[in-house]
Amino acid sequence: MIATGSEISVVFHAADCVEFRPTFSQYSRPADADVFVTARGHWTNALTPIRYVSVTQTTFNGGLRVVLWTPEWSHPGEDVMDLIEPFQRVVVVVLDGLRVDAIDAFALPTLMGLRRNGAYATAITVEPSVTWTAMTSLMTGVPAAVHGVVSDSIHLPRPCGVIDPLAATLAERGLPTSAVLARIPVIFRGVASAIGRKLGVGHLRFVGEGAADILESAHDRLTTQNRGLILLHWPDADRAGHEHGWMSPAYAEASMALDRALAKLLDIVDAHPDTLVIALADHGGGGVNPKDHESDHPHDRLIPLVFVGAGVIPGEIGVHASLLDVPATILWALGVERPSSYQGTPLTGIVSSSRRWVPTTIVA
């Protein structure tokens, strides 16, 4: 244990471990410590702390123990590590209605491979756990209580707070957004298109019945749009869940179709090495009602979340991730400042230090 009042030299190492020289309070164990550090290299006790995990200890200078933390994430509103080289492009694919346990239950090879070779988490979706609520949160960075979409009915909502749409925020930096989504009834397309324009989406399509069709329609965007954000929505598993029940044989086949399409998507984006791919579900299903997903049951609220791209660290993300963290992470990955309205936190721990801005020293 570091004695109360001990001072330790402050150096950021290349491996992302940090030796701290603030005055420590007495902690029951080192992992309880929160060290106050900003991304620009100055420590202070006046800010919300950045949390550190992966604690190790060394001994020097007459037995004084130095505690090393690896930075993982910061609280909302706190500065975070910038990227040395932001990604040029982020591709987000929403696997509508894919339950976390479906990956292992149906041995989905692509998603199982991404868990081995990419960063992944079991995240929690927004409330209510329905598609239009989740998609709106994904495109605004705020929950339903702010953006006003509380059901799957397609309508122009009345926000209850400040909204800084993700696509509009990117557009201000000259970064385009394209969205290729499942076909919807003609009667709703006008309203849906108006919502897309309001969100700042530059290119919006509602095409196809399933992942294979939608991916084929998006092929031109994936091969020609080399910057900004591309959003895909694949409804296969959700449709099968509503019609036949979550985890039914039909749901299993639909989940496999999503996985096959995801493999093809990765093949396409492999030609663009500076792309971050984010795959996630908007909700699960079958928690209380075997053919629905609008409850607080973990099968409804928990979602798979995976990241793959150059510099992404393989392994489980060591934080309690939320769907609201995804839009914040998209902006961070593209080097765009996050609006203060966003209620999620960039998951900066997904990327290795070779891409992150890391100060060499901290001046106390």
CA-based max dimension of the chain: 76
Q: What total of structural domains would you count in the chain?
A: 2
Residues 69 and 114 in one domain: no
Strand partners, 57: 67
Output the pLDDT for position 49: 33
Do residues 103 and 111 make contact, with C-beta atoms less than 8 angstroms apart? yes
Residues 97 and 25 in one domain: no
What is the DSSP-derived secondary structure letter of residue 45? S
Residues 97 and 67 in one domain: no
Bridging pattern class, strands 119-124 and 315-316: parallel
Listed in sequence order, the residues at least 6 apart from 9 whose beta carbon sits closer than 8 Å to its beta carbon are: 19, 21
Residues 18 and 111 in one domain: no
Mean pLDDT (the chain) is 77
Quick check: helix, strand or coil at residue 186?
helix
CB 61: neighbour CB atoms within 10 A? 10
Quick check: helix, strand or coil at residue 40?
coil
* Entry pTM: 0.76
Q: Read off the CATH number of the domain in which 133 is found.
A: 3.40.720.10
More confident residue, 57 or 137: 137
Q: Which of 175, 51, 118, 128 is nearest to 323 (CA)?
A: 128
Residues 44 and 184 in one domain: no
pLDDT at 256 over 50: yes
Residues 118 and 153 in one domain: yes
Output the pLDDT for position 48: 30
**pLDDT above 90 as % of the chain:** 56
pLDDT at 97 over 50: yes
Domain with 15, as residue range(s), is 11-74
Number of H helices, E strands in the chain: 11, 12
* Rounded CA separation 225/230 (Å): 8
Reading the block at residue 228, the tokens are 């900004």
pLDDT at 24 over 50: no
Reading the block at residue 325, the tokens are 């963290």
Residues 103 and 192 in one domain: yes
**Best-predicted range by mean pLDDT among 26-30, 32-36, 257-261?**
257-261
pLDDT at 61 over 80: no
More confident residue, 29 or 154: 154
pLDDT at 26 over 90: no
